[in-house]
Structure 1
Amino acid sequence: MSIKLIIADDNSFIREGLKIILTSYDEFEVLDTVNDGQEAVEYCTDHDVDIALLDVRMPNLNGVEATKLITEQTNTKPIILTTFDDDEYIVDAVKNGAKGYLLKNNDPERIRDAIKSVYNGNSILQDIILEKIKGNLQEKEEVKTKIDTSKFTERERDIMALIAKGYSNKEISKQLFISDGTVANYISSILGKTGLEHRTQIAIYYLTGKVN
């Protein structure tokens, strides 16, 4: 079964280039290319689309705004694909339901793998995202939370704090002297309590107190 894609980018050269690259893989079917976020939303509303590759900076409706509408109105999974790594866009895209955030300078194989991973239910967020979030903090030790801590156990709060500092599951397990599997179980519990979907959203929630 082919993974059905659309590509939204106001740069026709990039749009068509991506289409050529992606159609070279048997597992992808590029249904259409569109010029902006509004066209992407309308196409996903009217058609059965698995993945929408969205540029950030587009006229009429940008990729972050389109992500929100596509997530709310369709079953399509948005992936932000951009040359920009602005903090504001990263955080807002994740909050709006982006399942992936990749820079266009990735090699085709990495983009291919990311699309397949998102299609299979995973979230792909490059290390640069948490690095940007951490970059907003002067020192790791200065991380402060704005969440309602009463909803979480002490261990869950510890894990959320470490996620917000950019720690991987393996690093968290070493820090707290628990197994990787136990860390994963705690993260699943946190996701269940908050309605969030992945660990990057946990980091943003811990830092801002907002789930959307």
Structure 2
Amino acid sequence: MAEALERHTMVKTSAAAWTAVMARHPEFAEHVIIEGWVRADRPLIVRRPGCSDPAGKIPLGLPLPPSHGKRRIAIALDAGEIIEHKPPPLLADAAASAPSAWQDTIDRLLRLCPETRTFGSLAWQHLTGLPYLSDHSDLDLLWPARATGQASTLPFEIADIARLAPMRLDGEIICTAGGVQWRELTGADADDVLVKRQSGVHSMTRAAFLAGGTP
């Protein structure tokens, strides 16, 4: 796999690679759900690298459901051990796994940007069939600004939906430079925002980010 994988990419690994992971991390053996994760055809998610991650490997995460303590498992794999990679699921596809109280808000979000993707509890419940959602769950989203053609107004349109939503709307608007937490983008054009990429965090003005600039 020659291309770099950005944050939030969903990946799958081979059974042999997962057996090797379990051998490197014997502490995982006390959690049957972890041992059987790949056998159940469940994905991992690309995360930003940490100080302890080996150079040259792809940092991955496995967030366990609340029934298993919501523990976040961090591992790193060689690129050759990844057999499939996909973007996080479309909100439209995951919507069927959402609580009924969320449906009106999801409908509004999809009218605003049909290409919206989700990566948090709703995504994991949709992808695994395990119970991740609770009464206190956020709805974690990724909005591709290029898909709307209205990048400058998108943060304010999200804010209008968030004011009436029964859950907290969290997540990032994605432009050429990377992703910015959507609430940061409701400020003035000259305000600095933090842009997150797999390679690190950068600062640039709101106007430059939404115009498609790079740090």
TM-score, normalising length: structure 1: 0.28
- Larger helix percent: 1
TM-score, normalising length: structure 2: 0.27
